[in-house]
């Protein structure tokens, strides 16, 4: 079986550099790296979005009865506020 040796790879790399030039290869590598980075960011944001949707679906749904019970358990605002003793303190 004929495999590719290190010398053959070096000759191919040399031909590619001669054909395209180092500037073109550098910009091509930067573009490829930016595309891979953007793809990874998009995939991670999709996973985060899916996890958030799953967490929202797992929350229990509040019924009207549970809302009324929660409101009844809270003290009224008038009972917790203190009235000023004189008009001098307000000024």
Asked if residue 19 lies in contact with residue 28, where contact means CB atoms within 8 angstroms, the answer is no
The domain spans of the chain are: 21-59
Task: Give the pLDDT confidence score for residue 9 in this predicted structure.
Answer: 93
- Residue 39 three-state SS: helix
- Residue 38 three-state SS: helix
Cα Rg for the chain, rounded, in angstroms? 34
The residue-averaged pLDDT of 59-69 equals 62
- Residue 62 three-state SS: coil
Q: Quote the pTM value.
A: 0.40
| Residue bearing the bigger pLDDT, 73 or 61 | 73
**Residue 16: CB partners within 8 Å, gap ≥ 6?**
25
Task: Give the pLDDT confidence score for residue 18 in this predicted structure.
Answer: 92
Residues in the chain: 91
Looking at the predicted structure, is the pLDDT value of residue 66 above 70? Answer: no
Q: What's the token pair of residue 90?
A: 């307000």
| Residue bearing the bigger pLDDT, 91 or 45 | 45
């Amino acid at each position: 079986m004929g495999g590719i040796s290190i010398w053959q790879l070096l000759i191919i790399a040399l031909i590619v550099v001669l054909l395209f030039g180092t500037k073109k290869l550098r910009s091509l590598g930067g573009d490829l790296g930016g595309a891979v980075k953007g793809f990874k960011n998009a995939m991670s944001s999709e996973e985060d979005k899916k996890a958030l949707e799953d967490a929202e679906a797992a929350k229990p749904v509040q019924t009207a009865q549970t809302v009324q019970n929660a409101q009844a358990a809270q003290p009224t605002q008038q009972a917790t506020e203190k009235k000023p003793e004189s008009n001098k303190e307000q000024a």
